[in-house]
Structures are given as C-alpha cells and as structure tokens.
Amino acid sequence: MTGRPVLHADADSFFASVALRTRPDLAAVPVAVVAHVYIASANYPARARGVRSGSLAQDALRQCPELILIDVPRAEVEEVGDALFDIFHDSARAVEPGSIEEAFLDVGADDLAGAAEAGQTLRRRVARELGIPISVGVGRTKLMAKLASRRAKPDGLYLIDSDEEAALRTTLPIDDVWGIGATTLQRLGRIGVFRLGDVDGIPRNELQHVCGTAMARRLWRMRDGTDDAVVRPVEQRSSLTAEGSTAGYARPDKTPAELAAACVERLCHRAERAGLAGTGITLTLRPETGGKAIVLKRTLVAATTGRDTWLEVAGDLLAGAVVPRLAGLRVTLTGLLPLDRVLHTLF
C-alpha cells in the first residue's frame, strides 16, 4: 500500500472528441462517430438527444435526425491515445491503463488536495497539447477515483473526500460497482442487497453462495474501505496494434493491401515516436463472412523501425496467402525494443 491518493483520468467521448479536433464548427451540434454501422462514440449534444454508443447508426438517426455522422478517424485515434499515455507517464510515478483512453495514476501526492491540484494540471496540459477534454476523479482507492471521474464528466475534476467516501460505503447503489454481471445483480437484489451497506445484514456464507467467494470478498472490502488502492504500473509495452476496416461509413472500400499499408505506416510512425523498434509483424485478417480470423506472422533477424521493410514484409505475407473478402484487418508490430538497445546489439 502506498497510502497515496489515486487519480482516475478518462477522456470524454474519446473518438468523438478526436474527430472534432479538426472540426470545431461542429462542437455544439450533435455528432457521433461510427465504426462500421454502429455508434462508437457520441458528443454531449448528441447524448442529450438520446444518442447512445453501441446503437445502430440508422436508429440513432431516427432518434436525432440532425445527427452528423463521422467515420472513426482511426489513425488519429491511435495517435492521440499514444500521446495521451505519454502525458500520463510524464505526469505520474505509476500508470495503470484501463483502456486506450483511461488510466489510474499515482502522481506522488500525499493528500487529496495535492492530488486534485495535479489532476487540474494534467487536464490543462491534455487540453492544450492534444485538444481533447479529459475528466479526472480523485479518491483514496481505485473505486473512489473511478466513481469520482464519472461525476466529474464532462470536462471536470471531482474529489471524493473522506466524509463522502464514508457515506458512499453505505449508500452506493450496487449497480454502480463495475464488474458485477446482470445475473449476479438480480441474485443480490433477491436477498435485499441494493446498496453497499446492505451486505451488513447478510450472513457471510449466504453472500458467498449468492455471488461467489471472490465477489463477496470484493464487496466486503468495498464496504469496510480496504479495497484496492494500489496503482500497478504495466511493463513497457511490447507491441503496438493498428486496425482498419475495408468498408467504413460513407467511405469507398479499400483493398487488403491498401489497408495493411495504411496500418503499417501508422504503426511505424507511432513506434518511431515512442523510440521503439519492432522485431515481428502479425496480420490478423477478419473475413467478411465472420468465420475464423486468418493470422499471418513473420519475425525478422534484427529489430527495425524501417517502414519500407515492414511494408515489404506485410505485402509479402498477403501475397503468399489466400485472402477472402475481408471485413477488416489488424496489424501488430511485436517484440518492441527501445531504440538505444537496438543500436547496442548492432555494434
């Protein structure tokens, strides 16, 4: 236990925010980003009109006829996600990623006020350098930090102090605890557990029986305040991935080779930016018919950042395979090494 406060930093409607960086004229109108035929992310004006991510684009248009739909700007999303984590790492002692756009941070602050100040600095920096809003939650544990960032949205900071924390450990609705499945929620409801404090009235073996030993333990810890408060840094990343679809929303189809080349270009750019060289490449092809993915791999003798090399290898792998019509493909650069270590092995 570090005993230090935890920050949860989370980009607001990330894909939509990235798409709107170059379209400030659209910031105040309902906009959604579409992946294939689904809403991947909607800005707040769109959400206010009932547009939800995960719904079909055509349903969203019925809900909100003036909704503007934009294709996922994949290259930009990957780029901004990497840059966001560069800033996280630069601002914290430890970073534990949750997704490409959210993480728990230990900023080294000893008290909640100091952590909140670091949170505001982080928010300003991300807005200035990347042009996207992030919300930051501050709390004593990861649960509290995450609940706080939810309250901070959009584009805000929220701190859960010790009084509010004490109250939440009694009143928090069970369905606000992430990671509990719908069936378990129903079963808990049947024995009268709707809020965290309700577990007090349930015999221990009954709670274990209803939601399993691990979940029961998690609930007791949340109830008595001994839940996870440690930000666990993830090792230096060992691979980078880029994805593309053959058919986007309102975009002409691309051939697998064009798609792979675009992914390789993006990956090499990101690897160079991060000071990393790759030793292997994997192409994962998703057939349009939805069948099993086709995986093509090659490892090189020495790590390289050379995009011409990777373009050639990717082209080679595709040429040597029977490629059906694709829904999309994913390219991963693997075995990443810091450039300084690569130079050492060469000389």
Cβ proximity to Mg ion, 101 vs 106, nearer residue: 101
Do 127 and 31 form a contact (C-beta atoms < 8 A)? Answer: no
Cβ proximity to Mg ion, 126 vs 267, nearer residue: 126
Query: Least distance (Å) from Mg ion to the CB of residue 12?
Result: 6
CA distance 265 to 136: 33
- Exactly one of 4, 5, 7, 10 binds Mg ion (CB under 5 A); which one? 10
Query: Least distance (Å) from Mg ion to the CB of residue 40?
Result: 12
Do 244 and 254 form a contact (C-beta atoms < 8 A)? Answer: yes
CA distance 92 to 9: 11
Query: Least distance (Å) from Mg ion to the CB of residue 65?
Result: 27
Cβ proximity to Mg ion, 122 vs 318, nearer residue: 122
Contacts of 62 (CB under 8 A, 6+ apart): none
Active-site residue (options: 78, 96, 101, 102):
102
Here's the x/- map for Mg ion, 11-50, by CB under 5 A: it reads as x---------------------------------------
CA-closest candidate to residue 45, choices 55, 31, 57? 31
Query: Least distance (Å) from Mg ion to the CB of residue 43?
Result: 12
Sign of CA pseudo-dihedral 79, 81, 82, 84: positive
Here's the x/- map for Mg ion, 184-203, by CB under 5 A: it reads as --------------------
Cβ proximity to Mg ion, 81 vs 278, nearer residue: 81
Query: For tokens 């709707």, what's the residue?
Result: 194
Here's the x/- map for Mg ion, 89-118, by CB under 5 A: it reads as ------------x-----------------
Query: For tokens 């503007």, what's the residue?
Result: 68
Query: Least distance (Å) from Mg ion to the CB of residue 105?
Result: 14
3-state secondary structure of 187: helix
Cβ proximity to Mg ion, 11 vs 57, nearer residue: 11
CA distance 112 to 17: 28
Q: Verify whether residue 129 is a known catalytic residue.
A: no
Contact call for residue 152 and Mg ion (CB under 5 A): no
Residue 233 DSSP class: P
Phi, psi of 218 (to 5 degrees): -60, -45
By beta-carbon distance, which residue lies closest to Mg ion?
10
CA distance 171 to 56: 35
Residues with active-site annotation: 102
Contact positions vs Mg ion (CB under 5 A)? 10-11, 101
